[in-house]
């Protein structure tokens, strides 16, 4: 009997506990950063990464074929006009010069013999010992010998030039920006040995996508900021590619810098700005925007109740780290700019108070 009473008491207590209302869970009041909405003056601006190059960068190579035996410069080295850059095995060209010299000597001997023969026959003709036709034949022989001598001399000059071309000299002063051949390699005539960026005008080259190509025109003045410093330079657009790169689908643009002392290969940021236009668009940081149910929205603070509500918006574009809002907000509204993913509809909030600062 006692056990039955105990079981009934436990059952009654359990029923009372099950029927009692659940305790209210207090949602914490979150501190949020807000931004008061206002219209902005938008300045269309685009940034492109570019590289500083020389206006003239030539691939330098030998004018004759041969085996590369020495290279006297390294990558990044500065060279002067007339400096010896490399040379190849010139033994065959020296033999060719010697052969040409021998040909000249033989042709000169034949020419001298023909000249002496013509002189002797001319004296005989003056004494009427021979006919005029015989003298003409001797004169023709002399002219042929003279032509052979001149041909041999020209061939000797050509072979001497070939020997000279076995040494590679710098035509202009500049900086070696690339090496394309190594010692021991057999080169064909005209094959590049190195790349030489000539001193003088510097330009910045950068790629522009098709949808931004309208921002760039020949003769336009741009601003260029070097990554290695805070200096801002001016550059004038000289050339815009007529066709897109088949791989990147971008257009190459070259702009001449006003400073010729900029280091070659420097990375630069090219800034292209349009005219300032006052619009009704509103600009917000990207941290204030969220996606909800396939729509873009922001949290708007109601100052009277200090609660937040979701507000759908339409985004018309992006600029740097901001989004341009075309509709959904009105100037004067307060939008949450940080912690948007931890808030809920109607949640109580407070203004974030930085330590020792203003909200």
Q: Which residues contact 329 (CB under 8 A, 6 or more apart)?
A: 37, 282, 298, 300, 311, 313, 335
**CATH code assigned to 30-42+277-351:** 2.40.420.20
Closest C-alpha among 245, 212, 207 to residue 46: 212
Please tell me the predicted confidence (pLDDT) of residue 1: 45
Q: Taking phi first (over 0 means left), then psi (-120 to 50 degrees means alpha), and beta for anything else, what does residue 346 get? A: left
Work out the angle at residue 92's Cα, subtended by the Cα atoms of residues 89 and 93, and round it to the nearest 5 degrees. 90
Q: Which CATH superfamily does the domain covering 91-164 fall into?
A: Helix hairpin bin (1.10.287.470)
Q: Report the length, in residues, of the chain.
A: 359
pLDDT of residue 17: 46
Cβ proximity of 117 and 142 under 8 Å? yes
CB 357 within 8 A of CB 322: no
The parts of the chain modelled with pLDDT lower than 50 are 1-4, 6-9, 11, 13, 15-18, 277-278, 357, 359
Q: What is the distance of C-alpha 61 from the center of its chain? A: 24
What pLDDT is recorded for position 262? 84
Report how far residue 348's alpha carbon sits from residue 30's, in angstroms, rounded to the nearest whole number.
7
Q: How many CA atoms lie within 13 A of 290 on its CB side?
A: 19
Domain coordinates in residue numbering, the chain: 30-42+277-351, 47-55+201-273, 61-88+168-197, 91-164
Structure tokens at 350: 């407070």
* pLDDT score recorded for residue 45: 66
- Please state, as a whole number, how many other Cβ atoms lie within 10 Å of the Cβ of residue 58: 15
* Rounded distance between C-alpha atoms, residue 312 and residue 347, angstroms: 17
CATH number listed for the domain at residues 61-88+168-197: 2.40.50.100
| CATH architecture of the domain formed by 47-55+201-273 | Beta Barrel (2.40)
Give the E-state strand segments of 122-220 in sequence order. 167-169, 174-179, 186-187, 192-198, 202-209
Tokens of 345: 């509809």
Those residues whose C-beta lies under 8 Å from the C-beta of residue 316, and which sit 6 or more positions away, are 281, 324, 325, 326
Res 280: pLDDT: 56
Contact 255, 224 (CB under 8 A): yes
CA 349/CA 341 separation, integer angstroms: 14
Question: What pLDDT is stored for residue 16 in this prediction?
Answer: 46
């Amino acid at each position: 009997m006692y056990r039955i009473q105990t079981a009934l008491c436990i059952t009654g207590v359990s029923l009372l506990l099950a029927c009692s209302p659940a305790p209210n869970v207090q949602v914490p009041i979150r501190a949020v950063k807000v931004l008061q909405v206002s219209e902005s003056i938008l300045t269309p601006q685009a940034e492109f990464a570019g590289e500083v190059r020389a206006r003239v960068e030539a691939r330098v190579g030998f004018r004759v074929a041969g085996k590369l035996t020495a290279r006297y410069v390294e990558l990044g080295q500065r060279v002067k006009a007339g400096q010896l850059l490399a040379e190849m095995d010139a033994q065959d060209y020296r033999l060719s010069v010697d052969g040409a010299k021998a040909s000249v000597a033989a042709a000169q001997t034949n020419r001298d013999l023909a000249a002496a023969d013509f002189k002797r026959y001319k004296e005989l003709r003056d004494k009427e010992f021979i006919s005029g036709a015989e003298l003409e034949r001797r004169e023709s022989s002399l002219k042929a010998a003279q032509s052979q001598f001149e041909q041999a001399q020209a061939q000797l000059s050509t072979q001497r030039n070939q020997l000279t071309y076995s040494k590679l000299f710098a035509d202009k002063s500049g900086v070696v920006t690339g090496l394309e051949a190594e010692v021991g390699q057999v080169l064909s005539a005209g094959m590049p040995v190195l790349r030489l960026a000539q001193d003088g005008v510097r330009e910045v080259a950068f790629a522009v996508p098709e949808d931004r190509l309208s921002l760039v025109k020949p003769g336009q003045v741009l601003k260029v900021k070097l990554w290695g410093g805070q200096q801002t330079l001016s550059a004038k657009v000289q050339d815009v590619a007529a066709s897109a790169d088949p791989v990147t689908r971008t257009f190459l643009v070259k702009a001449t810098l006003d400073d010729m002392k900029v280091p070659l290969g420097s990375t630069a940021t090219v800034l292209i700005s349009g005219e300032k236009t006052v619009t009704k668009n509103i600009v917000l940081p990207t941290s204030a925007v969220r996606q909800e149910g396939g729509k873009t929205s922001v949290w708007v603070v109601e100052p009277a109740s200090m609660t937040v509500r979701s507000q759908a918006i339409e985004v018309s574009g992006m600029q740097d780290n901001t989004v341009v809002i075309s509709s959904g907000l009105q100037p004067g509204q307060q939008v949450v700019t940080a912690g948007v993913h931890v808030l809920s509809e109607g949640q109580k909030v407070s203004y974030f108070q930085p330590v020792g600062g203003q909200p």
